[in-house]
C-alpha cells in the first residue's frame, strides 16, 4: 500500500489549491474528487453563474444602448447558446486545473473517498475497494444545497419542476415565470440573470430584506433596479407548499399563491460532510460543519478541514486562502487565517461589494466608528458610463485607531474596486497616508479616494 504525505478529499478550490501548494512544498499528494475537478466553484457555482451574468449584462447594454448613441437593431438573446458558452468556459478552466495537478505530480483519483480511521504512519482512506494511507489528511468536501422540509419540494425536485443551482445552469430553455425561493446572494444572482433576459421572476424571502447581512441601503438600490426589470419581491413571506404548477406562501398571515413553470430553490447551503467518515476519527463537529482553528487544524492532530466544509465563510477565495494556511502549518511556516478582511461580492448588475465592518457590527464590538457615504457620481468615469446611476460607497472608519475598517459599495466595477479597500483595511494605514495614493483617472475606483478625503 502506497503511503502519501497528504491525502486531500475534495477537488474544489480549497482541495485543488491545497494539493498544488503541498506538492510545491515537496509533499507526495493524492487528491480524491468524485464528480469533477474544480468543485462547485468551477462547475456549478462562481464561474458558470458569472458567465451567464456577463451575457445578461451584454444583452441589457445592447437593448439600452440608444441613450449612448448606439443603435443595435433587433437584439436577441439565445439562452441555449449562453449555456453552451458557459460549458466551454467551464471546460477550459477545469482542463486548466487538471493540467496543474499533472504538472505538480499530484495523484488525482476520480472516486468518492471516506475516512476509514487511523493507520500506521497516519490515516487510512477508503475509495471503492481500495485503501490509501497518508501522514496527513485535508478534508475539503464543500457544501450542498439546503432542502427545507416544505411539502411538495422533494416531489418537485424529482419531477424537475424545482431545480437547484446545479440543474438550473444546464437548462437550455428559459422559463416564462420563475419563482426563486430565497433572496440570498445565489438566488439574487440567478434571479438577476433571468429577469434581465425577459423572464418574469418572483423572489420569496422569509426575512424582511434580501441579501442577508448586506447594507440595507444597498439592498434598496438592488430592489429598485431589479423592480425596473419586472422582478417581484415577497419579503417576510414563508413558503408553505410547492404544488405541480405554483408556490404557496404566507404573507402577513394570509395564504397566497404564485403560478410558475419553474422554481429555483436557493434557501442556503450547508457543509457537505455526510458519509465522509468524520466519526471514525472523532472529529469535533458543529452540526454538519467540521470545527477548525485559525490554522485550519481540527481537534485531531494531522487532520485539517478547509473551504465550505468548515462552514466559516462559504466563499471560494476563503477556501483558497485556507488551503494556503493549512499547507503552511504542515510545512512549519508561520501563518494564520484572518476572516475579518475577506471581501464578499454580489455579481448582479449593478454589482455589490463589501469588506470588513459595517457601522452596526463595529459598534457591537465596542469600536468607535464614523461613516462616510459618497455617491459614485463623484467619479467621472461612473458619470460617463451610466445614465444617472444610484451607486454609492460607504467607508467605515475606526476613529480611535484612525484607520479604515469597512467598505460597502454598489455600482459598476464594485467587484474589482473592493480590492483597493481590502488592502487599505489590511494594512491599517491612516487616512493621511491613503490620501497620498495616486489612482488612475478616470476610474470608478477614484470614488474611494474622494471618500477618504471626506473622513
Ligand atoms: P467545493 O467547491 O464544493 O468542492 C468540494 C468538492 O469535493 C466537490 O467537487 C465534491 O464533489 C467533492 N467531494 C465531496 N465529498 C467527497 C468525497 N467524499 N470524496 C470525493 N470527493 C468529494 N463563491 C465565491 O467566492 N464567489 C462566487 O461568485 C460564488 N458564486 C457561487 C454561485 C453558486 C451558484 C454557488 C452554489 C456557490 C457560489 N460560491 C461563490 C461559493 C463557492 O462555490 C464555494 O465557496 C466554493 O466552491 C467552496 O470550495 P470548496 O473547495 O470548499 O468546495
Q: Look at residue 388 in the predicted model and tell me its pLDDT.
A: 86
What pTM, to 2 d.p., does this model score?
0.97
Q: Does ligand 1 have an atom closer than 6 angstroms to the CB of 29?
A: no
* Eight-class DSSP state of 39: H
Among protein residues, the one whose CA lies closest to atom 46 of ligand 1: 316
Q: Look at residue 204 in the predicted model and tell me its pLDDT.
A: 98
- 84, with CB counted inside 10 A (0-12, 13-18, 19+), is exposed
User: Ligand 1: which atom is nearest the Cα of residue 50?
Assistant: 28
List, for the chain, all residue ranges whose pLDDT scores fall below the cut of 70: 1
Q: Does ligand 1 have an atom closer than 6 angstroms to the CB of 46?
A: yes
Taking the centre of ligand 1 as the mean of its atom positions, its distance from the CA of residue 48, in whole angstroms, is 12
Among protein residues, the one whose CA lies closest to atom 14 of ligand 1: 141
Cell numbers 433596479 correspond to 225
Taking the centre of ligand 1 as the mean of its atom positions, its distance from the CA of residue 34, in whole angstroms, is 13
What is the Cα Rg of the chain in Å? 23
Q: Does ligand 1 have an atom closer than 6 angstroms to the CB of 187?
A: no
Taking the centre of ligand 1 as the mean of its atom positions, its distance from the CA of residue 329, in whole angstroms, is 23
Residue 61 a catalytic site member: no
Q: Look at residue 40 in the predicted model and tell me its pLDDT.
A: 98
Q: Look at residue 21 in the predicted model and tell me its pLDDT.
A: 98
Q: Does ligand 1 have an atom closer than 6 angstroms to the CB of 9?
A: yes
Q: Look at residue 344 in the predicted model and tell me its pLDDT.
A: 98
User: Ligand 1: which atom is nearest the Cα of residue 269?
Assistant: 36
- The phi and psi torsions of 261 (rounded to 5 degrees) equal -110, 0
pLDDT digits (tens, 9 = 90+) for 392-429: 999 999 999 999 999 999 999 999 999 999 999 999 99
Mutate to test the pocket of ligand 1, among 13, 40, 312 (most ligand atoms within 8 A of CB): 40
**Strand-pair category, 262-265 with 162-163:** parallel
| Cell numbers describing residue 358 | 459595517
Nearest by Cα to 247 from 202, 191, 184: 202
Q: Does ligand 1 have an atom closer than 6 angstroms to the CB of 34?
A: yes
pLDDT digits (tens, 9 = 90+) for 272-303: 999 999 999 999 999 999 999 999 999 999 99
Distance between CA 48 and CA 54 in Å, rounded?
Answer: 10
Amino acid at each position: 500500500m502506497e503511503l502519501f504525505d497528504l491525502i486531500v478529499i475534495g477537488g474544489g478550490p480549497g482541495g485543488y489549491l491545497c494539493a498544488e501548494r503541498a506538492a510545491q512544498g515537496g509533499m507526495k499528494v493524492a487528491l480524491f474528487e468524485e464528480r469533477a475537478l474544480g468543485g462547485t466553484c468551477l462547475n456549478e457555482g462562481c464561474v458558470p453563474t458569472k458567465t451567464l451574468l456577463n451575457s445578461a449584462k451584454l444583452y441589457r447594454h445592447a437593448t439600452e444602448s440608444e441613450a449612448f448613441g448606439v443603435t443595435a437593431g433587433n437584439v436577441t438573446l439565445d439562452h441555449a447558446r449562453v449555456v453552451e458558452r458557459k460549458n466551454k468556459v467551464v471546460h477550459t478552466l477545469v482542463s486548466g486545473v487538471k493540467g496543474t495537478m499533472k504538472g505538480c505530480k499530484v495523484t488525482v483519483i476520480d472516486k468518492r473517498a471516506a475516512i476509514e480511521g487511523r493507520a500506521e504512519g497516519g490515516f487510512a482512506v477508503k475509495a471503492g475497494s481500495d485503501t490509501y494511507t497518508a501522514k496527513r489528511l485535508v478534508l475539503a468536501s464543500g457544501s450542498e444545497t439546503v432542502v427545507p422540509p416544505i411539502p411538495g419540494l422533494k416531489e418537485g425536485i424529482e419531477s424537475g419542476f424545482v431545480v437547484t443551482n446545479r440543474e438550473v445552469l444546464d437548462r437550455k430553455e428559459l422559463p416564462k415565470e420563475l419563482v426563486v425561493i430565497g433572496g440570498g446572494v445565489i438566488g439574487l444572482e440567478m434571479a438577476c440573470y433571468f429577469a434581465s433576459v425577459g423572464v418574469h421572476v418572483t423572489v420569496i424571502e422569509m426575512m424582511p430584506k434580501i441579501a442577508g447581512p448586506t447594507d440595507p441601503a444597498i439592498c434598496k438600490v438592488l430592489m429598485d433596479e431589479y423592480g425596473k426589470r419586472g422582478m417581484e419581491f415577497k419579503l417576510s413571506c414563508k413558503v408553505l407548499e410547492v404544488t405541480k404548477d405554483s408556490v404557496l406562501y404566507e404573507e402577513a398571515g394570509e395564504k397566497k399563491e404564485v403560478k410558475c413553470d419553474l422554481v429555483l430553490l436557493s434557501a442556503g447551503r450547508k457543509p457537505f460532510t455526510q458519509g465522509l467518515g468524520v466519526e471514525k476519527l472523532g472529529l469535533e463537529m458543529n452540526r454538519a460543519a467540521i470545527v477548525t482553528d485559525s490554522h485550519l487544524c481540527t481537534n485531531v492532530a494531522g487532520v485539517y478541514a478547509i473551504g465550505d466544509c468548515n462552514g466559516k465563510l462559504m466563499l471560494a477565495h476563503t477556501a483558497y486562502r485556507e488551503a494556503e494556511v493549512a499547507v503552511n502549518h504542515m510545512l512549519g511556516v508561520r501563518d494564520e487565517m484572518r476572516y475579518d478582511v475577506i471581501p464578499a461580492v454580489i455579481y448582479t448588475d449593478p454589482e455589490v461589494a463589501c469588506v470588513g465592518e459595517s457601522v452596526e457590527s463595529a459598534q457591537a464590538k465596542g469600536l468607535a466608528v464614523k461613516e462616510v457615504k459618497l455617491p459614485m457620481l463623484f467619479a467621472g468615469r461612473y458619470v460617463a458610463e451610466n445614465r444617472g446611476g444610484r451607486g454609492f460607497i460607504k467607508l467605515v472608519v475606526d476613529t480611535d485607531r484612525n484607520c479604515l475598517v469597512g467598505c460597502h459599495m454598489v455600482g459598476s466595477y464594485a467587484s474589482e474596486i473592493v480590492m483597493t479597500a481590502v488592502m487599505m483595511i489590511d494594512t491599517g494605514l491612516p487616512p493621511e497616508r491613503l490620501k497620498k495614493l495616486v489612482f488612475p483617472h478616470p476610474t470608478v475606483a477614484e470614488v474611494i479616494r474622494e471618500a477618504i478625503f471626506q473622513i
